[in-house]
Structures are given as structure tokens and as C-alpha cells.
Amino acid sequence: MKMTVVGNWKMNLAQNSARELVRSLAQAGVKSDNAVDVIVCPPYTLLGTVADLQIEGIAIGAQNCHHAAKGAFTGEISAEMLVEIGCRYVILGHSERRRDQHEDNELIGRKAHHALQSGLRPIICIGETLEQRKNGETFSVIKDQLDKIITSATAECVSSCIVAYEPIWAIGTGLAASAEQAEEVHVCIREHLKACAVADLVPLLYGGSVTADNAAALFACRNIDGALVGGASLKVDEFSSIVQAAREVVH
């Protein structure tokens, strides 16, 4: 399967620093090709800025969207608005939004369904807490998240999405899952999606402290089809090395 590398900028950068980062990435040769798809996900106010640069080979995604097309939803942004500004992807259900905005799987499924119908490809995040892992609940938590999202979004919708496994204990901690830990969960996700009548071709990304140092080992795993990168996506050298590592993978 083709690899996918997504940069999640979170709530970082300003107009100038965003332009500089994307231009530097392009200069460093970061772009989509036959082997890898490259996507950056700036905050809302920087989406138009990055889109206006019209950098070839770097697709743009948002970090969230609303589940309705328009209406009385103060402070919200719809998938339609994101498409209009040049987005092709949207991250949904990131653990930081589940934690801070109390988003649940049912809502994430609804968002995914609407986003896909509006022309965005959702990148749906799932993952367990450290406590759940310690209690041996990782697989059951992952399956439960998938079941609820599929029920809400439909299996057909999820077949067109990207799924990102992001163990919460690995996000922003510098403590990435080992390749073995990530791969065994990816196998579980792959099998469960199949059991739920979701297509085989859903790319499964790993996220959580991915760096230039650990990317190659993660990408060497058969069921890891790319990465959702937070902190390292703000550094040109790191992000370009991760994209290069994805390019060199032969699965």
C-alpha cells in the first residue's frame, strides 16, 4: 500500500512561520509521489495561507470540522468551508479533542460521514490510555472505538477513510510505541475492520512521538502504512527525514 505521512501542526505557528515552514519543506524535496502521500494540517487561520502558496505535492488537511454543513453553530467550521479553502483531508477524533472537547465516537462517526460526503477524506484517530494498556484492555478499547465509529459513520464511509492509531501515552511524550507494540495493534485494527465489512485498503497510520530516528523501524512493519506526526512535523529536517523513510519502504 502507498505510504501516507501527515503533519499535525496542532495550535502552532503564525502566518510568516507557516509560510516559511511549507516553503522549506518543498525546498527539502518533501512532496507526494508514487510511494508516499504528504499532507500538512495547519490550524484554521493558516489553511488559506498555506493553500495560497500552491505548493505542488503537499496536500492540506484541517484538524477538525463540524458535523453539519452550516447553521447556528457559533465558533464552528464546516467541511464545506474547508473544501472551499483548499483542504482535502480532515483529522477527526484526535485524543486532545476527545479529552478537551469531550468528543465521543458517535460524534466522530457523524463528522466522518459528513466530511466524506462533502469531499474531505477523514483521518480518524483512535487509541488507548496508559491505564487501559496496563490493564490489558488495549485491543478491546480499540475495537470498541471502531465499532461505535462504524455504527455512526457506516462501514462504507470508513472504507474511504484513513485510520490513525495513536496511543495516548505516546503523544507528545517522546515515548513512542515500539514497532512491535504498534504493529500488533495495527494487526488488530486491520482484522477488526475486515470483520466489520470495512474495505481492506484503509491506510493505517501510527502516531505518537514519531521522529526521524524511529520512523524507519515503524514503517518496516507490514501493517503500518505511514504516520501522523505532531511535534516533528514542525521541524523541516525531522519531517523530511520521516517522509524519506516512508518513501524507502517496500511493503
Instruction: Find the catalytic residue in 94, 113, 114, 192.
Output: 94
Q: Does residue 230 touch ligand PGA according to CB under 6 A?
A: yes
Residue 94 a catalytic site member: yes
Selected from 171, 177, 182, 188, the binder of ligand PGA by CB under 6 A is 171
Tell me whether residue 37 or residue 80 sits nearer to ligand PGA (CB atom): 37
Q: How far is the CB of 54 from ligand PGA (least distance, A)?
A: 26
Contact string 131-170 vs ligand PGA (x = CB under 6 A)? -----------------------------------x----
Three-state DSSP string of the chain: CCEEEEEECCCCCCHHHHHHHHHHHHHCCCCCCCCEEEEEECCHHHHHHHHHHCCCCCEEEECCCCCCCCCCCCCCCCHHHHHHHCCCEEEECCHHHHHHCCCCHHHHHHHHHHHHHHCCEEEEEECCCHHHHHCCCHHHHHHHHHHHHHHHHCHHHHCCCEEEECCHHHCCCCCCCCHHHHHHHHHHHHHHHHHCCCCCCCCEEEECCCCCCCHHHHHCCCCCCEEEECHHHHCHHHHHHHHHHHHCCCC
Which of the stretches 18-26, 58-66, 136-144, 204-212 binds ligand PGA when contact is defined by CB under 6 A? 204-212
Tell me whether residue 182 or residue 228 sits nearer to ligand PGA (CB atom): 228
Instruction: Find the catalytic residue in 80, 96, 166, 238.
Output: 166
Q: How far is the CB of 116 from ligand PGA (least distance, A)?
A: 20
Q: Does residue 213 touch ligand PGA according to CB under 6 A?
A: no
Selected from 108, 207, 215, 239, the binder of ligand PGA by CB under 6 A is 207
Q: Which residues are catalytic?
A: 94, 166
